[in-house]
């Protein structure tokens, strides 16, 4: 799955990503692209906090330092629920 959060600012990009992650199963990936560096940091922080694996998905072809691309993988430990219950199967 791919989602582009370009043109949005915090907290909207994190909300969009969380909504997309709720639809994925363990082992599936979400690629997120955007153009607001603070959103990249917020997305990374939120995903790490909730047990998702996050890596840069850039292929190195972009010259624009403002854009980012992240690959987020749903792990067995991933949870988006505030109570810590696992929401992904």
Tally the C-alpha atoms within 13 A of residue 69's C-alpha that lie toward its C-beta. Answer: 11
In order of 31, 47, 60, 83, 84, the CA distances from 2 in angstroms are 5, 16, 18, 27, 26
- Which one from 1, 6, 7, 10 is the annotated catalytic residue? 10
10 counts as catalytic: yes
Active-site residue numbers? 10
């Amino acid at each position: 799955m791919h989602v582009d959060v370009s043109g949005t600012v915090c907290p909207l990009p994190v909300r969009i990503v969380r909504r997309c992650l709720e639809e994925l199963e363990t082992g599936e990936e979400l690629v997120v692209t955007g153009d607001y560096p603070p959103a990249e940091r917020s997305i990374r922080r939120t995903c790490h906090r909730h047990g998702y694996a996050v890596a840069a998905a850039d292929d190195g072809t972009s010259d624009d330092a403002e854009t980012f691309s992240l690959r987020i993988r749903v792990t067995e430990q991933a949870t988006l629920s505030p109570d810590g219950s696992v929401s992904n199967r």
